[in-house]
Amino acid sequence: MGIGEAFARELASRGRNLILVARSAERLRALAEEFRQKRSVAVEVCVEDLSDAESLGRIYEFCRLKRVDVDFLINCAGLSCAGDFAEIPYKKLEEIIMVNVMATARLTRLFLKEMIERKNGSIINVASLGGLQGVPGLGLYSATKSFIMTLTESLHEELHGTGVNVVAVCPGFINTGFFKHSGHNAANLRLPMYGTEVVVKAAIKGLRQNRIRVFPTLIDNLLAFSQRLVTRRVVIRVAGFFAAVKDN
C-alpha cells in the first residue's frame, strides 16, 4: 500500500516484471492480478513479515527458486510510532528497527552482490526528511531514516563505476495510511501533505541522474537547505513543530 504501491504501479506501467513483498496477502494478490491483466507483466507475490529476521533470507530464496534476477530493489516498507521515546513499547521498538533498518540493510546486502557481478542494478531506499535530524516525538523513526541516508551515501560512493546505482529519497509528509498506522494525528501536521506520485517521480529521476539523495518537493528542498543557516537546536525544534506529534 501507500508509497510502495505507487512504485509498483509506476514500474508495472513501464513494463517491469515485479515481485511484491508485504504481509497483506490478499491485497498483494489483487494488485498482482491487476498488473498481469492490465500491464501484461509477470508478477510474483512473496508474503513475508519483514520484522521476522528469517524472512529476509526467505525472500532471497524465493527469488532464486523462481529463477529471477533482481536488478531493481526498492526498500520501501517502513513504520513509525508517534510519541516520546520513553513510552515506546519494547516490541514496537524492535519491529521498527527490524523493518526500517535490518530489512533494508540485509536485503540490500543479499541482492547487491549479484547486481555488481552483472554490472547492472538499481536500488531505491525510501528514507525521510525526518532522517535529516532528530524529531521530538519521532526519535526512533528519525534515527532509522538517518541510518538509511548514511548507508545510501556510503554505498553510492562504493558502487561508483560498478553499474549499480543507489539513491535515497527523502519525502516530507505524504498522504498514505502511514500516520494512522503510527498513531500520529495527521490533522496536526504543520506542512502540506503530497500524493505518493511525487516520491516515485523524484526517486526515479534521482536514480537516472545518479544522485545520492533527493527531496521530492520544493518545500522539502527548502527545509533541507535551510538547515545550513541555523543552529542544530533550532533545526530539531522546527522539525518537532512541523511534525506536531502531540495534540496540544
Ligand X SMILES: NC(=O)c1ccc[n+]([C@@H]2O[C@H](COP(=O)([O-])OP(=O)(O)OC[C@H]3O[C@@H](n4cnc5c(N)ncnc54)[C@H](OP(=O)(O)O)[C@@H]3O)[C@@H](O)[C@H]2O)c1
Query: Which residues belong to the active site?
Result: 141
Q: Which helix (H) or strand (E) holds 168?
A: strand 164-169
Identify the burial level of 29 via C-beta atoms within 10 angstroms of its C-beta, where 0-12 means exposed, 13-18 middle and 19 or more buried: middle
Check: CB of residue 137 under 8 Å from CB of residue 84. yes
* Residue list 192-221, contact with ligand X (CB under 6 A): none
Q: Which stretch binds ligand X (CB under 6 A): 62-70, 77-85, 153-161, 219-227?
A: 77-85
Smallest separation (angstroms) from ligand X to the CB of 137: 14
Q: Residue 201: count other Cβ atoms within 10 Å of its Cβ.
A: 15
Q: Verify binding: residue 73, ligand X, rule CB under 6 A.
A: no
* Residue list 17-56, contact with ligand X (CB under 6 A): 22-24, 49-51
Among 18, 76, 112, 200, binds ligand X (CB under 6 A): 76
- In the bound state with ligand X, the residue whose beta carbon lies nearer, of 25 and 230, is 25
Question: How far separated are the first and last CA of the chain, in Å rounded?
Answer: 30
Q: Residue 76: count other Cβ atoms within 10 Å of its Cβ.
A: 21
Can you tell me the distance from the alpha carbon of 126 to that of 159, in angstroms, rounded to the nearest whole number? 18
Q: Verify binding: residue 163, ligand X, rule CB under 6 A.
A: no
Smallest separation (angstroms) from ligand X to the CB of 153: 17
Smallest separation (angstroms) from ligand X to the CB of 1: 4
Q: Which helix (H) or strand (E) holds 19?
A: strand 18-22
Q: Give the binding site for ligand X (CB under 6 A).
A: 1-4, 22-24, 49-51, 76-79, 99, 126, 128, 171, 173-174, 176-178, 181
